[in-house]
Amino acid sequence: MARLCEGRIALVTGAARGVGREHALGLAKHGAKVVVNDLGAGVDGSGADTTPAQAVVDEIKDLGGEAIVNGDDVSSWDGAKNMIDQTIDAFGTIDVVVNNAGILRDRMLVNMTEDEWDAVIQVHLKGTFAPSRHAAAYWRQRSKETGEKVNARIINTSSTSGLYGNIGQTNYGAAKAGIAAFTIIAARELARIGVTVNAISPTAYTRMTDNLREYTEEDIERRDPRWVSPTIVYLSSAEASDITGRVIQAGNGRVAVCEGWRRGAEIDQLEDAEAIGPMIRDMISNVRMNSGMDGLELD
């Protein structure tokens, strides 16, 4: 089997369980040296335990690969810098950052607390920004020193909740929509130094999704996290240097490239609010509806 990421150095956040674990294992199987970051918190973000992350490192070593543990908090500015620095200190450089760490604090909007909002935004949105920012600063400096592009990768984790909308997840969905926008903008900013930025929207059965619905055995198999990681591995490879600014759904029987917001029907601007109302209604009737959670237009 061809090893797509031979010699690549990858940091995967939230890599102790679920899709993050599969990302770390998949990258290692394809020749990458992996930093397995995980605070070891519960689904709601409480607690800390690096034992599960160490178990992934041990598994990678048993397969003949190289890996180390990092237990920093992705949403901490200093912690994010430390995980980038630790990767460089251990392996000499960093080529790939996979931002995967996340928590859930689901609640209907009218009942959501400030802490439930802040915690989710902090881990998902700041926890994507902070490692990416410190890695980007390193790559920019390296590009300046060598005069060459770096061929590096940032791969973020969005969600169907952020792309299409899911009831009870205004905090999580807003963060994941923000990550999709962050991906597109960062891709444009970092292209000049050779960094691609993409995002995946995984559909997987994990401890974070276990209580969202009833699952059949067939559902669990189709949503096994192992179906998500091949996309991550390919996007991490040197071969994927021309793919950037994309959001790709993976899991539950499919891999799909998402299409973002586009301007639809339009009219010339008006000052008359009464006159503009019927025109807006007419435009709405002539454009596609927002999609459902399956990413397809509602009937």
CATH value at residue 97: 3.40.50.720
What is the pLDDT, as a whole number, of residue 12? Answer: 98
Averaged pLDDT of the chain? 92
Spot the catalytic one: 138, 164, 172, 205: 172
What is the pLDDT, as a whole number, of residue 61? Answer: 98
Evaluate if residue 210 carries a pLDDT over 60: no
Spot the catalytic one: 176, 201, 205, 237: 176
In a domain, 246, yes or no: yes
Q: Please state, in angstroms and rounded to a whole number, the distance separating the CA atoms of residues 215 and 212.
A: 9
Work out the angle between the directed axes of helices 170-190 and 127-146 (0-180°, nearest 10): 10
In a domain, 283, yes or no: no
What is the pLDDT, as a whole number, of residue 50? Answer: 87
Residue 166: exposed, middle, or buried by beta-carbon count in 10 A (0-12, 13-18, 19+)? middle
Average pLDDT of span 232-246 = 97
Beta bridge partners of 297: 291
Range of the domain at 63: 9-257
Distance of CA 248 to the CA centre of its chain: 10
What is the pLDDT, as a whole number, of residue 296? Answer: 78
Q: Which two tokens mark 22?
A: 């599969």
pTM for the model: 0.91
In a domain, 295, yes or no: no
Q: Please state, in angstroms and rounded to a whole number, the distance separating the CA atoms of residues 132 and 126.
A: 10
User: What confidence category does residue 290 fall into, taking pLDDT thresholds of 50, 70 and 90?
Assistant: confident
Q: Which two tokens mark 87?
A: 């990767």
Spot the catalytic one: 159, 161, 229, 236: 159
In a domain, 107, yes or no: yes
Active site residue 158: no
Q: Are 295 and 257 in contact (CB under 8 A)?
A: no
In a domain, 183, yes or no: yes
Question: How many Cα atoms within 13 Å fall on the side-chain side of residue 76?
Answer: 11
What is the pLDDT, as a whole number, of residue 114? Answer: 98
pLDDT digits (tens, 9 = 90+) for 157-197: 999 999 999 999 999 999 999 999 999 999 999 999 999 99
Q: Would you give the DSSP letter of residue 286?
A: T
In a domain, 128, yes or no: yes
Residue 103: exposed, middle, or buried by beta-carbon count in 10 A (0-12, 13-18, 19+)? buried
Active site residue 176: yes
pLDDT digits (tens, 9 = 90+) for 11-59: 999 999 999 999 999 999 999 999 999 998 666 666 678 899 999 999 9
Q: Which two tokens mark 93?
A: 């450089």
In a domain, 3, yes or no: no
Number of domains in the chain: 1
Q: Please state, in angstroms and rounded to a whole number, the distance separating the CA atoms of residues 154 and 73.
A: 18
In a domain, 184, yes or no: yes
Evaluate if residue 257 carries a pLDDT over 70: yes
